[in-house]
Amino acid sequence: MHREVTSFVRRSARMRESLRRTYDAQLGGLVVDVPQGELRTSVAADATPLDLPALFGREAPVVVEIGCGPGDSLVPMAAARPEVDVLAFEVYEPAVAALVARLVREDVGNVRVAPVDAVAGLDRLLGEGSLSEVWTFFPDPWPKAKHHKRRLVDRAFADLVASRLTPGGRWRLATDWDGYAEQMREVLAAQPLLVAEPEDRGDRPVTRFERRGLAEGRAITDLVFRRA
């Protein structure tokens, strides 16, 4: 059983009417219809794993992005990888709607979005060894020491991600908080199935969060760990 403490701040779900129409039109399409638990962003305890080939309409390697926002990194990275399918977890509905509108506008068809908590989503909707990559770019750093327990990347989450990666699969992470970067290194290095690779951003584009961090004088850390 994985922790139910959420790792994100739940913000207002108000959105423009045009985005609301876009969001509603894609429910069950680009927006995955997930059985909900008690909370709007939770996953029902008895939910069964997604049929990924049915969801995407083909057999292909699957990548998960956690906290994709409006798709600053997701859309160009998915468009550059037409041979893979990308399942994104994002709880903020206006961001999901903006992402969906962009996917439609740019004709990127290999992405689906699940508007639920990523921890529960990985745990209940995805089977072991089902993912070729996981992307975790700029998760909330919860900078105050008393809030560090809410950071997404901890021992339990590392165990969960490692179990979902196929052997040889990679977990790519980025943060602009040095303390969180060090925590990520320590936690992932302690997971026996994960092996550190050279730190590399690859083709990850610059996001608005990255620009903000750079403007405030923070260094960017990109980590890569491989499932043994």
**What's the angle, vertex CA 179, arms to CA 176 and CA 184, rounded to 5?**
85
pLDDT of residue 108: 96
Binding residue per annotation — 178? Answer: no
pLDDT of residue 68: 93
Could you identify the residue written with the tokens 């998760």? 139
Q: Are 195 and 162 in contact (CB under 8 A)?
A: no
pLDDT of residue 6: 44
Q: How confident is the chain (228 residues) per 10-residue block, as mean pLDDT?
A: 43 67 84 86 92 97 95 96 97 90 94 95 97 96 93 97 98 96 98 97 90 94 98
Residue 154 annotated to the active site: no
DSSP notation for 54-71? HHHTS---EEEEES-TT-
d(CA 115, CA 90): 5
Who contacts 87 (Cβ-Cβ below 8 Å, separation ≥6)?
32, 50, 52, 55, 62, 63, 64, 65, 111, 112, 113, 114, 126
d(CA 196, CA 88): 24
Binding residue per annotation — 65? Answer: yes
Binding residue per annotation — 207? Answer: yes
Q: Which of 33, 85, 140, 159 is catalytic?
A: 140
* Per-domain residue ranges of the chain: 20-227
Class of domain 20-227: alpha beta
What is the pTM for the complete model shown? 0.91
